[in-house]
Chain A
């Protein structure tokens, strides 16, 4: 029996080791949680989002209202469960009162639900862009200074129909809430202009073999609208090109993002000339954007131009810091003052003015772009047009917009 007594004594000690080590923040520092995808299929995107957030922190010289900023990182793998688990750890164990994140659509929906159970913590979105994170059943303490996926598509549907002359478009997108939102944003305009979408393919995140999807794309479409992210986009485009596909592409916001454009190989030729829309444009001439790009490039491992994840996390982190600055870094009242400040906040970002609507979702400029090869050989998104101050209902009156119904795989439809 001696062995067992000792085994279990050790066990008891071991359990004792796990006793609380509640980290107490010193008065002169302020803790901000940073939740992004540091693992799984969106790792590259998550790492760039961190660069964006850190650019905002560096801009403030690492202090806000005289307090040192301490960033506590949490990692998810783009699944809602992992995002909530990481958020719980940041809030309940590390004791952050302000949390910036998450990155991906369904994560945002899940973190919003979690936010409702933590009314004293202020949640500021990262880049998650599902519509219903803020549109339907929003959380009082969840703010989105980056716009949603439907807003990002502003102007693209009309451009594809009128300027490019595409009448029939097939869509290929990942099977979760963010691409639903993107397809919704594209089709809202494209269908209204008179276009048709005969085939919509939804593929799981992390899909490797796209042959069945490629085979299912109708022969007679004028273009393919692709809303895939990171490795998924590279895999699909490579296989489509190897399979002899030649239809022109229309890109979702993260499909022709720097995370994809920096990939090597023949893929580059396929991507050239692809129209897209999103919250950023690489060839934006605005001085504020150029300053931001220079600041971003100081971050280790930076891309030639910041991805929209770097941009989104930058904007949201910047808003967070501006809000904290206004309240003197004081969140001891459960963040009430901070949330009031954030609701009223309106500031100039590298991509124009950003303010919030009544659901705490951003109203901001959107950029219509086309992929071109820059002078240095890097692929870039060339700015075609700026769509100013797009709101969440895409300029449609709210009650009319709500009647369009919640985004999902089947809504909207115009075969």
Chain B
């Protein structure tokens, strides 16, 4: 949005200016966060938000730039998570090829990207609500398949005893290293999406979103562009899936259930789909709510409170938290309401 406009129109900036003050402040805050946060806030809130933010980001990439709302992003992440469990080590006595992490991770992410591309290839011929339906169907089918398949997915129990790797003398599941690992990958994904949105491919994708018929008439291969966007979203979701399985130490069908799929959609919608920072904002709000709502209203009604908060956010601002900011600053609102460049 305006950030991209600002940098796009004034090319004679040095790199610090190009980065923007906001990004620098945010980066410093996030890097220094471990100094003030307890282990719980580092991993359960910080790390978990970053992981779900990445999942939301992969959805934002598809929905925001490609106009394709997917409910299957958690499925794609789940494929990477299961791949790590199957290719690496687990203690469920099923499969577990014992590959080292540097071999298992690329394969897992590749598998996720391919799966995502396949889902995209199946669903690109549909639009709007039909894309949502198809991806929901795929997510549900995968969930039940994982639940009932024992040869590959080990049924309801799934895989346990999956360990994050230790290298360079660091155990990467320890709170601080894990947080920085999540932060590193999240920043990488965020920067990639931000950069990608201004690249030729990103521009083309947005043009396709706005008018596929015209783009087709101009000679662009609309399907190929969309499927490639799905593959890129799959890489981000796959990385999130790897982090998720290292974080939990286990993966089971519950990880990729419809609830989780809807969580990702909520994160993206609550945060806002107009800028890649949106899903991360949404993830922080959703994770905080899901963790602490039970302390506010007790065990019986805490899901109602979570629902109410989400409802209020969407009611006050259909553009999510990002849009909310625009509304609070009316003189800037018009600018923020303009879609991306």
Contacts known (A113-B249, A175-B148); A39 close to B336, Cβ less than 8 A: no
A246 interface residue per 8 A CB criterion: no
Cβ–Cβ < 8 Å partners of A10 in chain B:
325
Would you give the 0/1 interface string for A36-50, flagging 1 where the beta carbon is closer than 8 Å to chain B? 101100000011001
Residues of B within 8 A of A80 (CB): 157-158, 160, 250, 252, 254
Question: Which chain A residue has the least Cβ–Cβ distance from B303?
Answer: A39
Which of A74, A109, A110 touches B294 (beta carbons < 8 Å)? A74
Alpha-carbon distance A7/B288, docked complex (angstroms): 19
Nearest Cβ in chain A — how far from B178, in angstroms? Answer: 13
* Chain B residues bordering chain A, tally (CB within 8 A): 56
Q: Please provide the chain B residues from 1 to 55 with a CB less than 8 Å away from any CB of chain A in the complex.
A: 2-3, 6, 20-23, 25-26, 29-30, 33, 36-41, 44-46
**Contact mask for chain B residues 49-89; partner A; CB cutoff 8 A; 1 contact, 0 none:** 00000000000000000000000000000000000000000
Complex Cα distance A73/B299, Å? 7
Other-chain residue from B36, B147, B160 in contact with A113 (beta carbon distance below 8 A) = B160
A61 to chain B, nearest CB (A): 22
CB-CB < 8 A to A375: which residues of B? none
Stretch at the interface among A84-92, A271-279, A282-290: A84-92
Q: How far is the CA of A19 from the CA of B330 in the complex (A)?
A: 30
Closest to A88 in B: B44
> Within B252-294, which residues are at the interface with A (CB < 8 Å)?
252-255, 257, 259, 281, 284, 288, 291, 294
**Cross-chain contact of A75 among B22, B39, B150, B299 (Cβ < 8 A):** B299
Closest residue of chain B to A34, judged by CB?
A: B299
* Residue A244 interfacial (CB < 8 Å): no
Interface members, chain A 381-410 (any B CB < 8 Å): 409
Q: Closest residue of chain A to B175, judged by CB?
A: A92
A380 to chain B, nearest CB (A): 27
State whether the Cβ of B318 lies closer than 8 Å to any Cβ in chain A: no
Query: Of B160, B248, B249, which is within 8 A of A109 by CB?
Result: B160
Q: Do A110 and B250 have beta carbons less than 8 Å apart?
A: yes
Which of B250, B257, B284, B299 is within 8 Å of A18, CB to CB?
A: B284
**26 interchain pairs (CB within 8 A)?**
A3-B2, A3-B335, A4-B3, A4-B20, A5-B25, A8-B21, A8-B23, A8-B25, A10-B325, A11-B26, A11-B29, A15-B29, A20-B36, A36-B299, A47-B300, A75-B294, A77-B254, A79-B253, A88-B44, A92-B44, A93-B41, A93-B44, A175-B147, A175-B155, A204-B144, A204-B148
- Interface residues, chain A, with chain B CB atoms under 8 Å away: 1-12, 14-16, 18-20, 22, 36, 38-39, 46-47, 50, 73-75, 77, 79-82, 84-85, 88-89, 92-93, 106, 109-110, 113, 175-177, 204-205, 409
Known: A16-B36, A85-B248, A106-B252. 17 other contacts (CB 8 A): A2-B332, A4-B20, A12-B29, A18-B45, A18-B288, A20-B41, A46-B299, A77-B254, A80-B157, A80-B160, A80-B250, A80-B254, A81-B250, A81-B252, A110-B160, A176-B157, A204-B148
